[in-house]
Structure formats: C-alpha cells, structure tokens
C-alpha cells in the first residue's frame, strides 16, 4: 500500500509537470532517447555504459607466485586459540571481460577465476570463481528489460569487484566482509522492466532472489528475495530525481531467524561534467526481525527444570537510515569511483541482519604507454541488529600494476592488506596478500585487471 500511494502521488505531480514540458521537449525527443541520463542508484545502473559500437570481449590467463599472510580457518588449536597460517604458493588465473552491443541488446560480462596451491599445505588449496553478467534488451522506445546475474564461489573475497564496473555490489546482494578462510557459494539474479511514459518520466518494477551457503556448519547461510519499484523524472538532460520503494526478506540457515525490511528513498542523479557523475539515494528503512535469544529463568522455574537459562523467540523493530552516495569519473584512459553507504546488510556468516556503514574508493589508469595502474581502499562497520555482539570493523587497501611486455604478455604485481576488529576488539587481525606473475592477453592496450 505504501508503494501504491507513494507512486500515485508522485506520478500525479510529475505528470502535471511533464504535460507543461511536452511542448518544449518534443524537439529534443530523439536526443533524449539516445542519451540514457546519469546512472540511477535505485535501478542498479553503473556509469560509463557501453557505446553503440560493439566491443570485443578480452580474455586473459596468468600464472603467479603468491604469498598469503593471515589465513584464518574455522577452527581452534589445542590451546583454544584460532590458528593463523602464512603460506607461499602458486596461482593460475583465468578471466574474460568486455561488452557486446547489438541493435537493441547489450551484453556485459566479467568472469575471473583462480586455482591456488600451497606447497605442503593442501588443506588451504582452493579456487575462487566470480561471474557477473548484465543483459539489456529494448524491444521498443518506451520499454526496456534488464537481467542481472552474479554467481561465484570463493575462500578469500579479495577480488569480488568487477573489472569493467558493471556490478553495483550495493544493489545486488553479494557476500561481503567474510572473516574466515572458508568456502562460500552464492547466486544472485535480478530482473527489471523500465517503462518510459514520456521522454522525461519513467517507471521501474523488478525483483531479486539470492542464496548464500557456507561450507562450515558453524557459519550462517542466507536465502532472500526483494521486490522493488521506482518513479524517476528527468529535470534536465543531465539531471534526474525520483522516489523508490523496496521490500526485502532475509531468512537464515541453522535454525530460527528472519528479517522483513521496508525501505523508501529519494533519488538524485546528475552529470556534473562530460565524464563526472554524482548519484545519491537518501531514505530510511523499517527492519522487523524474529530471532532466538537466551533468557535467565525465574528461580522457581529453574529449580523445577534443572537449568538456569532458557531460549525464547524475540521480536525486534528498528528504524535505520538507508542512503548511498556515489561519485564516478570515466575517462578514456582512467576510471575513478567513490561510494559511501549506510543501510541494512544481511551479515557475513557470523553477524546476521546488521546496520552497515561502508566506504569504497578505486582508481584505474592506463594513460602511460604499456602500463596499467590500479588502487583501492575500503572501510566497513557492521553493527548487529538482532544479536548482542560488539561491532565488526574492517579497513583495507590494495594496489596493482600490469606492464605490457609485447605480443600479449604482461607482468602483473599486486599487494593487498586488510585489518579488522571483531566484537569490540575481542579478535584483532591483519592479513596480507602479495602476487607477482605473468599474464597473457591479446589486445592493443595494457591489461586492466583492476
């Protein structure tokens, strides 16, 4: 009902404005349809969409020496402490990324995978696989359909970012902030339909389903879905405003527990310069959760049952902010992105439904002949809404370089570090990764892996 009322109210207001603008906009219809406008957060859009010209997919394969400092298994040693491993190994990496555009359809794909072996420590051998795919089809000038899929399996989530920037991790529910070196399997699929009532006014309706499973029985898995819709109005060629509503449901493995989330937000997106875009979504969320908690029994009941602690179902209600701000710049030889979010997150296998604050910055540059440079930094804080846990905080930095050695051969160097504190600094840990190797990828520009 909230979605219907909000949509009808906003649609009426904007339709009146649109009618007054029709006479002025008729002469600009063709150019408005060619330019899709700045990327809108509530629709999961990313800046720098592919041009109308087809772009070939670019494969790569590489072999590297790696050093991992700080692998944390889901176990304890004989002293009751968490063991931490520092290992040298080798890694085979495979990948494919790029766009292809037909007359009415665009396909964007990013696949990356690796196979790791640590000499003498086969228990830590493993493989990480990540695939993101977006298919967009526009059968008419007014209607377009978008299908987004992301799937993968990993033990270490260092490289769950999209090489070509097609995946908005804040839009699709993908696992984040895992602490342990533990196998995670996930699948997310989302579908949207956009209807353009006028060159300025458009509606979106869609849904998403996702599943996350973790190999260790000590960690929580997740099943969820959402339904969402929005209304957006193009104020000017480079500026859009709108409203959106989203209903989200989380359900966890390992017993009793789920969350219903209703979120409403106001969207603003503008193109500040030819290559610089600002997008913001400001709103709030109502989080209703059912979970189990331990309670101290009355002495009379404890004496009767022979136990002093019991478990009961509990209902909790929270109101939290739900906002995202993103600044991006896409040039021919460089890309920059800065994102801040403050909203609800399904957790990381230890933390369940949580309030999450996060910031992420990344930069990639191929303007120097034969070279590609990339760097990123991140910050995350999880505050549990349904558990009596201290906050989880994490800081990470990373950087990499690829050097074109001619005939498709590239030298690759990458360094990453992450620091995190768990449950009010009960567990502090820093892990590092170093990688040095060679990759082969045909192409006229340096290989861009980040």
Mean pLDDT over 129-154 rounds to: 93
- Residue 79 within any structural domain of the chain: yes
Give the confidence band of 26 by pLDDT, cuts at 50, 70, 90.
very low
Task: Supply the range of the domain harboring residue 211.
Answer: 2-440
Q: How far is CA 373 from CA 116, 150, 450, in A?
A: 24, 26, 8
- Residue 403 within any structural domain of the chain: yes
CATH label of the domain that carries residue 72:
2.40.160
Report CA dihedral (259, 264, 266, 269) to the nearest 10 degrees. Answer: 40
Q: How far is CA 424 from CA 47, 215, 294, in A?
A: 37, 26, 20
Distance in angstroms (rounded) separating the CA atoms of residues 28 and 235? 14
Give the confidence band of 8 by pLDDT, cuts at 50, 70, 90.
very low
Comparing 43-47, 54-58, 100-104, 133-137, the range with the smallest average pLDDT is 54-58
Comparing 3-12, 136-145, 325-334, the range with the smallest average pLDDT is 3-12
Cβ contact 37:240 at 8 Å? yes
Give the confidence band of 75 by pLDDT, cuts at 50, 70, 90.
confident
Mean pLDDT over 409-422 rounds to: 91
Angle at 345 between CA 75 and CA 217, to 5 degrees: 25
Cβ contact 62:437 at 8 Å? yes
> For residue 285, what are its two tokens?
């969320």
Q: Of all residues in the chain, what percent carry a pLDDT higher than 70?
A: 82
Comparing 20-24, 189-193, 282-286, 326-330, the range with the smallest average pLDDT is 20-24
| Residue 415: closest CA among 428, 396, 429 | 396
Q: How far is CA 260 from CA 248, 318, 358, 436, in A?
A: 6, 11, 22, 45
- Residue 281 within any structural domain of the chain: yes
In which element (H, E) is residue 31 found?
helix 29-34
Q: What share of the chain is helix, strand, coil (3-state, %, to 5)?
A: 10, 60, 30
pLDDT given at position 21: 40
> For residue 253, what are its two tokens?
């493995």
- Residue 446 within any structural domain of the chain: no
> For residue 164, what are its two tokens?
């070509």
- Residue 369 within any structural domain of the chain: yes
Give the confidence band of 80 by pLDDT, cuts at 50, 70, 90.
confident
pLDDT given at position 56: 74
Comparing 40-49, 334-343, 347-356, the range with the smallest average pLDDT is 40-49
β-pair partners for 281: 267, 324
Mean pLDDT over 401-408 rounds to: 88
> For residue 148, what are its two tokens?
């987004």
pLDDT given at position 19: 43
Please give the sequence-ordered ranges of beta strands (E in DSSP) within 55-104, or none if there are none: 58-71, 85-101
pLDDT given at position 144: 95
- Residue 450 within any structural domain of the chain: no
Q: Is 263 exposed, middle or buried (0-12, 13-18, 19+ CB in 10 A)?
A: buried
Backbone region of residue 37 per phi and psi (left: phi > 0; alpha: psi in -120 to 50; beta: other values)? left
pTM beyond 0.75, yes or no = yes
- Residue 328 within any structural domain of the chain: yes
Q: What is the 3-state secondary structure (H, E, C) of 243-286?
A: EEEEEEEEEECCCCCEEEEEEEEEEEEEECCCCEEEEEEEEEEE
Domain count, the chain: 1
Distance in angstroms (rounded) separating the CA atoms of residues 356 and 347? 9
pLDDT given at position 441: 86
Q: What value does the mean pLDDT of the chain take?
A: 83
- Residue 115 within any structural domain of the chain: yes
Q: How far is CA 20 from CA 10, 56, 82, 200, 237, in A?
A: 16, 44, 67, 12, 16
Distance in angstroms (rounded) separating the CA atoms of residues 100 and 214? 34
pLDDT given at position 27: 38
* Burial 105-118, CB ≥16 within 10 A → b, else e: ebbbbbbbbbebeb
pLDDT given at position 158: 61
What pLDDT digit, counting tens, does each position of 231-281 carry?
999 999 899 999 999 999 999 998 778 899 999 999 999 999 888 999 999
């Amino acid at each position: 009902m909230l979605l219907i009322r909000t949509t009808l109210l906003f649609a009426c207001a904007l339709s009146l404005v649109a009618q007054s603008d029709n006479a002025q906009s008729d002469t600009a219809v063709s150019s408005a349809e060619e330019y899709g406008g700045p990327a809108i957060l509530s629709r999961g859009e990313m800046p720098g969409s592919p041009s109308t010209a087809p772009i070939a997919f670019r494969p790569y394969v590489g072999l590297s020496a790696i050093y991992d400092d700080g692998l944390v298994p889901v176990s304890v040693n004989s002293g009751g402490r968490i063991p931490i491993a520092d290992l040298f190994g080798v890694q085979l990496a495979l990948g494919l990324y790029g766009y292809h555009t037909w007359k009415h359809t665009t396909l964007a794909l990013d696949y990356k995978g690796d196979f790791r072996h640590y000499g003498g420590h086969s228990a830590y051998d493993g493989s990480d696989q990540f695939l993101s795919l977006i298919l967009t089809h526009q059968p008419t000038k007014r209607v377009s359909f978008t299908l987004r899929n992301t799937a993968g399996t990993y033990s270490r989530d260092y490289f769950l970012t999209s090489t070509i920037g097609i995946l908005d991790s804040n839009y699709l529910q993908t696992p984040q902030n895992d602490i342990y070196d533990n196998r995670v399997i996930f699948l997310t699929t989302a579908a949207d339909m956009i209807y353009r009532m006028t060159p300025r006014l458009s509606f979106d309706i869609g849904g998403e389903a996702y599943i996350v499973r973790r190999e260790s029985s000590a960690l929580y898995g997740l099943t969820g879905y959402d339904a969402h819709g929005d209304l957006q109005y193009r104020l000017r060629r480079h500026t859009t405003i709108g409203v959106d509503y989203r209903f989200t449901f989380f359900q966890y493995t390992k017993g009793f527990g789920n969350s219903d989330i209703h979120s409403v937000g106001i969207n603003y997106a503008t193109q500040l310069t030819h290559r610089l875009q600002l997008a913001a979504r400001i709103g709030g969320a109502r989080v209703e959760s059912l979970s189990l908690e331990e309670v101290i029994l009355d002495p009379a009941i404890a004496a009767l049952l022979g136990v002093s602690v019991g478990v009961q179902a509990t209902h909790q209600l929270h109101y939290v902010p739900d906002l995202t701000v993103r600044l991006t710049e896409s040039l021919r030889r460089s890309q920059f992105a800065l994102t801040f979010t403050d909203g609800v997150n399904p957790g990381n296998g230890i933390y369940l439904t949580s309030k999450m604050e996060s910031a992420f910055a990344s930069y990639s540059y191929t303007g120097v002949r034969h070279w590609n440079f990339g760097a990123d930094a991140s910050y995350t804080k999880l505050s549990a809404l349904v558990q009596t846990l201290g906050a989880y905080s994490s800081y990470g930095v990373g950087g990499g370089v690829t050097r074109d050695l001619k005939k498709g051969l590239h030298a690759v160097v990458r360094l990453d570090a992450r620091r995190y504190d768990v449950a009010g600094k009960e567990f502090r840990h820093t892990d590092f990764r170093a990688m040095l190797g060679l990759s082969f990828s045909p192409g006229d520009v340096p290989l861009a892996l980040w």
